[in-house]
Amino acid sequence: MIREARLEIVAGPLAELGEGPCWDSRDGLLLWVDILAGRVIRYDPADGSYDSIDIGQSVGAVAPRLAGGLVLAVRDGFAFLDTGAQAMRLVAAVETDRQGNRMNDGKCDRAGRFFAGTVGENNQVAAGTLYRLDADHRVTQIIGGVTISNGIGWSPDERLMYYVDSHTRRVDVLDYDPSTGSVDHRRPFVKLPSGTGLPDGLTVDAEGFVWVAIWDGAAVHRYRPDGRLDGVIPVPVSKVTSCTFGGPNLDVLYVTTAADVLPTSGRRAPGSGALFACHVRTTGQPANCFNG
């Protein structure tokens, strides 16, 4: 399955720091963000069209809302976006006392809670936190002492949550209570050897295999539920940021990347910052909407 996968560039904008791909099944669109440019990008694979919405500040993650529009993790906290009016409304401020911090990657669980974490200025060690936004807009701290809060996902039965703090070089797994949104017993799931890159965004497929984007590793790794490496999809650029499944059958793997500069010429590496896609012989889990 994975050996036959070949990624191709999807026509569209080149991001400075592409992240957080999410399939919106309501409209048949792929959503993702350009964090540093402060843009939410929407791609329609049916006709190849795309558009982008300027948020006015950095934006680390996006997900659909059951009530319509989108929920965002932006620099200042959690926000709602009316895609028709292209208007953003902050609903819960986060870390207003830490001016250098910003929100990063995030995702919703099946109950519609939105999890997203922060990263400190210049990747300051242990300056970030993973938060949960509930339907009533209450914000709860889930994991503290985080350096680069990144990928998050759940096993198909939602009894396990996978989480990445890239600074640790690990993908961790935690016991998850889907009735309350609480976590317990954090332990290593995978640790990347030195020199192979850092774990970044991730997604979990319908079989419970964990797909991890490898920053500075030019690859997406697929891990078995027991943590063993199952396969590698090469990516033709180094800074691979995240991945998700989309398309009507959830059998298209979408991969986001970041801009990379060639040391020899000082120019952007070809394809860096692009969105990539390929058909695979497995399916993902549907993206969850924020229920609030």
Q: Is 166 left (phi over 0), alpha (psi -120 to 50) or beta?
A: alpha
Asked whether residue 93 is assigned to any structural domain, the reply reads yes
Exposure class string for 28-59: b at 16+ Cβ within 10 A, else e: ebbbbbbbbbbbbbbbebeeeebebbebeebb
Render pLDDT for 208-239 as a digit per residue (tens, 0 to 9): 999 999 999 999 999 999 999 999 999 999 99
- pLDDT above 90 covers a percentage of the chain that reads 90
DSSP one-letter code for 123: G
51-73 residue pLDDT tens: 999 999 999 999 999 999 999 99
Q: Bridge partners of 130?
A: 117, 143
Contact (CB, 8 A) for 189 and 227: yes
- Written as one string, the DSSP assignment of 93-104 is E--TT-TT-EEE
Q: How confident is the model at residue 97 (pLDDT cuts 50, 70, 90)?
A: confident
Catalytic residue list:
200
For residue 139, the model assigns a pLDDT of 98
Q: Do residues 16 and 36 lie in contact, with contact meaning Cβ atoms separated by under 8 Å?
A: yes
Cα separation, 129 vs 147, in Å, equals: 8
pLDDT at 2: 60
pLDDT > 70 fraction of the chain, expressed in percent and rounded: 99
Query: What is the DSSP-derived secondary structure letter of residue 57?
Result: S
- Reply yes or no on whether the pLDDT at 11 is more than 90: no
Is 286 inside any structural domain?
no
Could you give the CA distance from residue 62 to residue 52 in angstroms, rounded to a whole number? Answer: 13
Q: Determine the average pLDDT of the residues in 36-49.
A: 96
CATH number, domain with residue 161: 2.120.10.30
Neighbours of 260 (CB within 10 A): 17
Question: What is the pLDDT at residue 4?
Answer: 58
Report if residue 45 sits inside a domain.
yes
Which of 76-90, 134-148, 258-272 has the least mean pLDDT?
Answer: 258-272
Residue 197 lies in a domain: yes
Q: Is 278 exposed, middle or buried (0-12, 13-18, 19+ CB in 10 A)?
A: middle
pLDDT at position 263 is 81
Over residues 197-211, mean pLDDT: 98
Q: Are the C-beta atoms of residues 21 and 243 closer than 8 Å to each other?
A: yes
Residues spanned by the domain of 186: 2-279
Nearest to residue 73, comparing CAs of 52, 85, 57? 57
The side-by-side arrangement of strands in the sheet containing 87-93 is: 59-64, 70-74, 77-82, 87-93
For residue range 155-182, what is the model confidence (pLDDT) as tens digits? 999 999 999 999 999 999 999 999 999 9
Report the pLDDT value the prediction gives residue 264, as an integer from 0 to 100.
Answer: 82
Q: What is the pTM of this model?
A: 0.96
Residue 102: count of CB within 10 angstroms of its CB:
24
With cut-offs at 50, 70 and 90, classify the pLDDT of residue 248.
very high
Per-residue pLDDT reduced to its tens digit, 109-150 = 999 999 999 999 888 999 999 999 999 999 999 999 999 999
Instruction: Give the count of domains, the chain.
Output: 1
Q: What is residue 7's predicted lDDT score, i.e. its pLDDT?
A: 94
Within a domain: residue 291?
no
Among 69, 79, 62, smallest CA distance to 139 is for 79
CB atoms within 10 A of CB 123: 12
Please tell me the distance from the alpha carbon of residue 219 to that of residue 28, in angstroms, as a whole number.
Answer: 26
Residues pairing with 59 in the sheet:
74
Contact in structure between 117 and 129 (CB atoms under 8 Å): yes
Q: Is residue 285 part of a domain?
A: no
- Mean pLDDT, residues 192-200: 95
Q: Does the residue 287 lie in any domain? A: no
Average pLDDT, the chain: 95
pLDDT at 153: 98
Which 8-state DSSP code applies to residue 243? E
Helix, strand, or coil (residue 24): strand
